């Protein structure tokens, strides 16, 4: 291996300080290098419904920023188990309201990612929540509810409204602050079934350290996933994945 390749950890988009934090604080890590080959249903569905979790087409999206590459990772995780996933929850529907934090801008498509999950997991019931009441909707195999993820009371009401359901997959694509992420997690992790997966999206490097301290102190089984795409520097293209087993 020549020097240039040895230094390839520098190709991570993380600032050096965070890069060093990861190497010092995690005993293990692995890298996965892949090329996209053949069809990718999950990326196609993101294009179809307008979620920024992935893309096939480079243009024509209802948002103006580069897509994430979460769909690539998620398809590798869940592709073989599509028919086994029966219950999905996502916080963050995709508000069009510019006065609401983390909105998808006025051209956004509320409910995009819930429709992606509904089509990708053919036997799943999909549940969603958002602080924007105007983004709520119900349609085939999708139900949505109001919730402010920064409020324990609001989250408790959400679970009372949804009822006695355990989830195979839970996704936090809401406000994206560390405090909001922890608030939703501590008030919702009891809803993840044994063997289920909980994903926090858009983890920015500066909140990674706080998340790492939080999950380590609680002894959770968690991973930090830094996704990378050639020629694209996305500072918020990282996930935290918590596995319940």
- Which stretches of the chain bind ligand SAM, using CB under 6 A? 51-53, 90-95, 100-104, 112-113, 130-132, 135, 147-150, 173-175, 180
Calpha distance 209→142 (Å, rounded): 35
Please say which residue, 19 or 47, places its beta carbon nearer to ligand SAM.
47
Pairing of strands 238-243, 222-226: antiparallel
Query: Closer to ligand SAM at the Cβ: 67 or 226?
Result: 67
* Helix (H) / strand (E) containing 48: helix 41-49
| Closest approach of ligand SAM to the CB of residue 74, in Å | 12
3-state secondary structure of 227: coil
Q: Do 91 and 172 contact (CB within 8 A), yes or no?
A: yes
Pick between residue 103 and residue 166 the one whose CB is nearest to ligand SAM: 103
Which tokens go with 150? 């920064």
State the nearest-atom distance from the C-beta of 25 to ligand SAM, in Å.
Answer: 28
Minimum distance from residue 40 beta carbon to ligand SAM (Å) = 16
CB of 44 to ligand SAM, least distance (A): 15
Rg (CA), the chain: 18
In whole angstroms, what is the distance from residue 147 CA to residue 96 CA?
Answer: 16
**Alpha carbon distances (Å) from 160 to 80, 146, 188:** 32, 12, 12
For residues 56 and 138, the answer to whether their CB atoms sit within 8 Å is: no
- Paired residues of 144 in beta bridges: 128
Min. distance of Cβ 27 from ligand SAM in angstroms? Answer: 32
Supply the minimum distance, in Å, between the C-beta of residue 91 and ligand SAM.
6
Instruction: Name which of 75 and 132 has its Cβ closer to ligand SAM.
Output: 132
Pick between residue 181 and residue 196 the one whose CB is nearest to ligand SAM: 181
Specify the residue, 22 or 201, whose C-beta has the smaller distance to ligand SAM.
201
């Amino acid at each position: 291996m020549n020097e240039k390749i040895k230094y390839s950890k520098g190709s991570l988009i993380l600032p050096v300080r965070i890069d060093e934090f990861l190497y010092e604080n995690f005993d293990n890590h692995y890298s996965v290098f892949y090329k996209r080959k053949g069809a990718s249903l999950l990326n196609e569905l993101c294009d179809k419904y307008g979620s920024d979790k992935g893309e096939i087409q480079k243009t024509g999206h209802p948002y103006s920023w580069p897509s994430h590459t979460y769909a690539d990772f998620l398809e590798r995780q869940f592709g073989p188990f599509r028919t086994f996933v029966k219950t999905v929850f996502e916080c963050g529907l995709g508000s069009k309201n510019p006065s609401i934090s983390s909105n998808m801008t006025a051209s956004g498509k509320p409910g995009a990612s819930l429709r992606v999950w509904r089509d990708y997991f053919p036997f799943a019931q999909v549940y969603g929540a958002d602080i924007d009441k105007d983004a709520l909707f119900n349609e085939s195999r999708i139900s949505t509810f109001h919730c402010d993820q920064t409020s324990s009371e609001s989250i408790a009401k959400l679970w009372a409204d949804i009822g006695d359901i355990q989830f195979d997959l839970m996704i936090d694509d809401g406000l994206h602050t560390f405090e909001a992420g922890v608030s939703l997690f501590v008030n919702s992790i009891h809803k993840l079934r044994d063997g289920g997966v909980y994903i926090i999206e858009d983890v920015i490097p500066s909140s990674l350290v706080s998340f790492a301290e939080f999950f380590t102190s609680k002894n959770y089984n968690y991973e930090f996933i830094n996704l990378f795409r050639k020629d694209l520097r996305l500072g918020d293209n990282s996930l935290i994945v918590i596995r319940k087993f």
